[in-house]
């Protein structure tokens, strides 16, 4: 039974990771009030709760990890 539970938990973790997308780009603008960033190619992402975008500025190169099928950024990393 313990193996079944461990396998199930691992499967859910793998599935969750499989549904994340990544994009790299240049920051065009940061809207702190809306907690959003716009990349130079026009893609707009809203930072999820706990994702800090306060240190981003126009021209920064970033990698955005987001939930597939949404524009919710689960991580934003300066490159």
CA 39 to chain centre: 13
pTM of the model: 0.74
Question: Which CATH number is 31's domain given?
Answer: 2.40.50.320
Instruction: For the chain, give the longest Cα–Cα distance.
Output: 52
Q: Please, which residues bridge with residue 45 across strands?
A: 37
Full domain range(s) for residue 7 = 2-78
As given in the structure block, the two tokens for residue 61 are 């190169």
Q: Report the percent of the chain where pLDDT is more than 70.
A: 77
Q: Give tens-digit pLDDT for 18-56.
A: 578 999 999 999 999 999 999 999 999 999 999 999 999
Residue 44: which residues within 8 A CB-CB, separation 6 or more? 36, 37, 38, 71
Number of structural domains found in the chain: 1
Distance CA 70, CA 5 (A): 30
The torsion region of residue 71 among left (phi > 0), alpha (psi -120 to 50) and beta comes to alpha
């Amino acid at each position: 039974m313990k193996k079944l539970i461990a396998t199930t938990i691992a499967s859910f973790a793998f599935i969750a990771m499989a549904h994340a997308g990544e994009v790299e780009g240049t920051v065009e603008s940061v809207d702190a009030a809306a907690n959003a960033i716009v990349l130079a190619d026009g893609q707009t992402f809203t930072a999820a709760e706990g994702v800090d975008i306060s240190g981003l500025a126009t021209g920064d190169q970033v990698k955005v990890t987001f939930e597939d099928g949404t524009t919710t950024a689960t991580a934003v990393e300066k490159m």
